[in-house]
Amino acid sequence: MLGDSVNAQEVFHTTLREAALRAAHGELPNEPFWLFRDARWRCLEATKTDLQAEPFEMEEQEITAVAGSQIERLEPRQLAIWISAAPEPQRTALALFYLDEFDYREIADLAELKPSELSRLLALGRRQFQAWLDATLPKRPTI
Amino acid sequence: MKTPGLSRRQRALANCAPINEERIRDRSMRAAVFRARSSSEFENQQSFDRALATLVRAIPIPPETAEWFSGKDLMAPSKWTWRKTARNPVVLAIGIALVVIAGVFVLQFVGRLNDFPGSGTARKLLSIAGSTRSVVLDPVNADAGALSDLFFLKHGLEHYDVPAEFADFRTIGCRVFEDDESQRIAQIWVVEKRMQFFLFPAERNVKTGAVLNFQGWRYVHQEGWVGGVTERSGVCFMVALRGREKDLAPYLATAKQ
């Protein structure tokens, strides 16, 4: 979400500290994903004051069969930066989807999206990431 | 995804297909994945997603953050409590249906408890009482007790006697008619609270033909009317009025005395 481990850690600890305080006062919300929702809002708050990228039309490419091998050549940090640079709510959708901890309804709920919007944003994100992969990591010639 | 053979909704679902198929929790998603599985585009999407998820898992977590998790699940599985079960719409709907069915059975059972020989006919006559207009009766201005002779002499109805307790009530009109079982019914309309009296044959044992007697007054209710029924000499007498038991009770109390 933040593309920066120091910021992420700060948000993580603030979220847990706040949760502990609320628990001590018996004020924990009665909904299943409140902690994740809270963490997401803190991430959005934390990046509100950051420099924002100029909105521009990202290129798109259909996913290819070699995308897997292209991704294997990436550093985790590159993916984190790419996702953190995506506009909201696509950033939340991609981050939660690739965490592989939630199903699509839970992600849509957390990102405050309709399932159809989530579907569109995920498909768009894949095509944009594929275009970025193609531009960053040229395909290896097949023998 | 442009996989042919998938509906728009299934295409949308396939775009959100979980990386791990064990995470599929609903039928519509399972169907969409099943249908999309044959296409190469979906295969590419799945291997793309798996590769990205592997990369995400490789993101290093600082030790001071990692110790918070210490191998425990990030989300504790929600407990299946009775309250949660009760709030499930399916359970709620079944519960309401069972309560309604039980209520109907209880009402029928309670209704049966108050049944007596002739109560079925009495209820039908209460419905008739509710729909009768005074113009259908022959106008008679007399004491109700005096009509016994009229019923005997004009219609040949024996023992169609108004009990002495109600004999002094002034009448507006009367008639004799046959019900749907060809039983001859005498109907009297009196001035007092626009009550109606009914005299009808008491129920008999189907095999022996013996009159099924019962003692005292029994109440019946139908469509906002209440009736008090008693049986004498094989003929039932019913006093009926629009209202509740408490409206009729004073008259029957007087009758008992």
Report the complex ipTM: 0.86
> B108-117 pLDDT, tens per residue?
888 777 788 8
User: Confidence class of residue B257 from pLDDT cuts 50, 70 and 90?
Assistant: very low
Task: Give the predicted TM-score (pTM) of the model.
Answer: 0.52
Residue of A nearest to B78 (CA): A32
> B151-190 pLDDT, tens per residue?
999 888 888 999 988 999 999 999 999 988 888 999 999 9
Alpha carbon distances (Å) from A24 to A75, B69, B77, B165 = 40, 20, 22, 78
Which helix or strand (DSSP H or E) is residue B235 part of?
Answer: strand B235-242
Residue of B nearest to A75 (CA): B55
Tell me the nearest-neighbour CA distance from B87 into chain A, angstroms. 14
User: Confidence class of residue B101 from pLDDT cuts 50, 70 and 90?
Assistant: very high
Cα–Cα distance, B39 to B2 (Å, whole number): 10
Give the least confident one: A8-12, A83-87, B69-73, B144-148.
Answer: B69-73
Query: Does position B237 have pLDDT exceeding 90, yes or no?
Result: yes
Chain B 4-63, residues with CB within 8 Å of chain A CB atoms: 11-13, 15-16, 18-20, 23-26, 29, 40-41, 43-45, 47-60, 62
**Averaged pLDDT of chain B:** 85
Q: What stretches in chain A show pLDDT beneath 70?
A: 50-56, 139-143
Chain centre distance of CA B177: 33
Tell me the nearest-neighbour CA distance from B98 into chain A, angstroms. 30
The DSSP bridge partners found for residue B170 are B143
Please tell me the total number of residues recorded for chain A in this structure. 143
Q: Give pLDDT, residue B225.
A: 92
Query: Does position B19 have pLDDT exceeding 80, yes or no?
Result: yes
Cα–Cα distance, A109 to B215 (Å, whole number): 70
Cα–Cα distance, B183 to B201 (Å, whole number): 7
Nearest to A119 among B12, B53, B74 (CB): B12
Cα–Cα distance, A43 to A89 (Å, whole number): 12
Residue of A nearest to B47 (CA): A68
Cα–Cα distance, B31 to B10 (Å, whole number): 8
Cα maximum dimension of chain B: 111
Cα–Cα distance, A68 to B15 (Å, whole number): 17
The closest of A78, A96, A117, A108 to A39, measured between CA atoms, is A96
What own/partner pairs with CB < 8 Å and gap ≥ 24 does B17-20 have? B17/B42, B17/B45, B17/B46, B17/B49, B18/A100, B18/A103, B18/A104, B19/A98, B19/A100, B19/B46, B19/B49, B19/B50, B19/B53, B20/A100
Q: Give pLDDT, residue A143.
A: 52
Give B211's DSSP letter: B
Cα–Cα distance, B225 to B56 (Å, whole number): 77
